[in-house]
Amino acid sequence: GAVVSQHPSWVICKSGTSVKIECRSLDFQATTMFWYRQFPKQSLMLMATSNEGSKATYEQGVEKDKFLINHASLTLSTLTVTSAHPEDSSFYICSARDRGQGLEQFFGPGTRLTVL
């Protein structure tokens, strides 16, 4: 149980285009989802927290117009990187939590974004 999927697992795009990444909880209701980015050999940086049906809460320094997050249902959250640039290239990881089931977060396998 507690499986989180991400799609796509990797994507290459041209500078200036937008990319959407999906995060799904497959066997539980994710009342809260989190988006992280990770640079090579570095830690996970929390970007934003989203609760189903409400606006995402962004961490300081994260541009909300650049990284659009939608948590439309209890099993799906999307992250759209708008007008991507090479510096947006990174590993993006989502996690999900069922608020009624404890503090543990369940992580997706990550999406490798490369912007040319």
Interface with other proteins (CB under 8 A), residue from 21, 28, 106, 113: 106
Min dist. Cβ of residue 104 to other proteins (A): 5
Q: Is 71 in the site for other proteins (CB under 8 A)?
A: no
Interaction mask 28-67, other proteins, x per CB under 8 A: ----x-x-x----xxxxxx--x-x-----x----------
> Do the Cβ atoms of 43 and 21 come closer than 8 Å?
no
Q: How far apart are CA 4 and CA 95, in angstroms?
A: 7
Q: How many residues bind other proteins (CB under 8 A)?
A: 29
Using CB atoms within 10 A of its CB, is residue 32 exposed (0-12), middle (13-18) or buried (19+)?
middle
Beta strand 111-115 pairing with 10-13: parallel
Q: Does 110 bind other proteins (CB under 8 A)?
A: yes
Asked if the peptide bond before residue 40 counts as cis, ω within 30 degrees of 0, the response is: no
Instruction: Write out the residues near other proteins by the rule CB under 8 A.
Output: 4, 6, 32, 34, 36, 41-46, 49, 51, 57, 91, 93, 95, 97, 99, 102-110, 112
